[in-house]
Amino acid sequence: MVPEELFSLALGLVPPWLVEHVTFSVEEKRLDLNINFPKGSRFACPVCGEGCPVHDTRDHTWRHMDFFQHEAYLHARVPRVKCPEHGVHQIPVPWAREGSHFTLLFEALIMTLVREMPVLTVARLVGETDTLLWRVIDHYVHEARTRVDMAHVHAVGVDETSSRRGHDFITLFVDLNARRLLFATPGKDAKTFEKFSADLQ
């Protein structure tokens, strides 16, 4: 099995996607995987799901999980399809969410690590800026919070704590029955209750 086929399998790519070319640099400690698709390939319209021809492509690069101690990057021409009914739309790629600089697996690694250590420590560990990591965290926290069901919350406890040395306080609202955090916000005055009330609705 050639390396391109092996990496296609490892990434879980399905036709028409395939790893076309692999570049490995020992000196730069870097692995680059170039993903492509055969000429004439059709992709599903993001609106209706019908197979449509490629209108044009745009080059994108994503940071992937390290290959042992080597940084790994995926490169691909991401197509926009031309649907006769819905016009031109960029298709989503199966290995990354739209607008992200990272693959889904790399984002999963980030979210796993930040549960156990400070974001800045994780940023140094993976060799990325904490700003980029915060964007990933904000996305998934917001997504998770939209799925939180507070319909069965009957008893709420409120407490304030110092977020760091000094007088920077945060107020915590906790579901006393389920023993889970419902909401946290900077401050310790009545406005924190207004914020929680708005979030609850």
Report if residue 69 sits inside a domain.
yes
Q: Is the pTM of this model over 0.75?
A: yes
Domain count, the chain: 2
Question: For residues 77 and 58, is the Cβ–Cβ distance under 8 A?
Answer: yes
Among 95, 120, 148, residue at a domain's last position:
95
Residue of 177, 173, 176 lying closest to 200 (CA atoms): 173
Q: For 70-115, how does the pLDDT look when each residue is reduced to its tens digit (9 = 90+)?
A: 999 999 999 999 999 999 999 999 999 999 999 999 999 999 999 9
pLDDT on residue 188: 84
For residue 67, the SS3 value is strand
For residue 148, the SS3 value is coil
Report if residue 151 sits inside a domain.
no
Report if residue 77 sits inside a domain.
yes
pLDDT on residue 169: 87
Q: For 136-184, how does the pLDDT look when each residue is reduced to its tens digit (9 = 90+)?
A: 999 999 998 888 888 888 899 999 887 666 678 889 999 999 888 888 8
